[in-house]
Amino acid sequence: MDQTIRRPIKPKLLNPGDGIGIITPASPMLVEKLHKGVDYLKALGYRTFLGEHVYDSYGYLAGRDRDRVNDLHFMFENPEIKAIISSRGGYGTPRLLDKINYNLIAANPKIFVGYSDLTALQLAIWRHTGLVTFSGPMVAVEMGKGIDPFTGQNFWPLLTQTNVDGFFSRKTEKPVKVIKQGKAKGTLLGGCLSLINSVIGTGHQPAFDGAILILEDVGEEPYRIDRYLAQLQSAGVFTQISGLILSQFINCEEKEKDPTLTLDEIFTNYFGSLSIPIVKNFLYGHIPKKFTIPIGVKVEIDTSVPVVKLLEAPVESNVS
C-alpha cells in the first residue's frame, strides 16, 4: 500500500472579512447551537456560508453520503470561502472517504477545521494531498456553547498569523507529564484514537514514519482503548513514530465495574518498551479548554522542559 510521505501544503491565513463555510459531514447538530456559533463568527467579522445540506438528517447521519460530500466539495471549490469549519462530529465521516475528490482539495487548499469523527477525514486529506488541517473547535459545539477563552486564544492565531513562537507553552491546570524521556522532531499526526483506527489498513492511511503521534478519545471503555492500540501496534505504527503525545481520554473508565485495567496500565503495556519521548496530559481532545492541533506540521517534543513546540506555522501569508 502506497503511504507516500507528503510535503505539506499550507492554506492561506484567514483575514478579517473572509468567508467561512460551515458543513456537517458527520452527525446532525443542534440547530440552536449552530445559529449561536454562526453569530459568534459574524461578531468576529467573518462572513458565513452554510452548506446546502448542513441541516439534513438521515438517522444518525447528517444526510446522505453524496450530499455531505457535495457540501465538502462545494466549500473547497468556492473562491469566496477561505476556511471551512465543521458544525460537529459524531458518526459517519469514514463513509465519505472513498467518495471524495482529493484532487479538487489539493487544487483549492483551504483552512479546514474539525475534530473527533473528522479525524478520519483529516488523515485522509493529509494522505492524499498533504494539506495541513486543524483539529480544533467546531461551530455547533464549542462556538455554539460559548467558546472557552483559552480555546479561542489558542485557535484563532493559528489561522490568522504566521508567528507561532510560544505556542503550546502556555501554563495549564494539568501540566504535561513525562512518561519516557527524550527529544524528537517529526510531523504531527493523529487525533481521536478510534477514528485513527478507521483508516488503518485502508488506502487512506497516512505514512507514520518519523511522525509525532497525538492521541485522545471520549466515551471508550478501557477494553476498547486496548483494542484500538492493539491494532495500531499490529500495523507497525508504534515502531515508526519518533514521539508520542497522550492527550485527554474523557469518560474512558469501565462502566460496569467489571474486572479491568486502568488506562495507565494499558499505556504501559503498549508503550513501556518504546525508546521514544512520550508525554501525557496534553490539553487537547473532547474538553472545553484545549489547544488546537495543526495536523501535518513539524513539532518537537523535549521532555527536559517538558514542552511540545511548533516548529513552523500551519498557514502561509497571503503576500506572495
Mind telling me the catalytic residues? 116, 216, 286
For 18, 110, 194, 255, the CA distances from 79, given in Å and listed in that order, are 11, 10, 34, 48
Instruction: Find the length of the chain.
Output: 320
By DSSP bridging, strand 298-302 and strand 307-310 are antiparallel
Asked if 320 and 166 count as a contact pair (C-beta separation under 8 A), the reply is no
Strands lying side by side in the sheet with 111-114 = 47-50, 19-23, 81-86, 111-114, 133-135, 293-295
Name the β-bridge partners of 186: 299
Q: At 81, list the grid cell.
A: 470561502
Distance separating alpha carbons of residues 116 and 218, to the nearest angstrom: 9
Distance separating alpha carbons of residues 27 and 24, to the nearest angstrom: 7
Name the β-bridge partners of 302: 183, 307
Contacts of residues 273-276 at CB distance under 8 Å and 24 or more positions apart, as own/partner, are: 274/180, 274/238, 274/244, 275/180, 275/182, 276/180, 276/182, 276/184, 276/241, 276/242, 276/243, 276/244
b/e per residue 231-249 (b: at least 16 CB within 10 A) = ebeeeebbeebbbbbbbbb
Strand intervals (E) in the chain:
19-23, 47-50, 81-86, 111-114, 133-135, 177-180, 183-192, 212-218, 243-250, 278-280, 293-295, 298-302, 307-310
DSSP 98: G
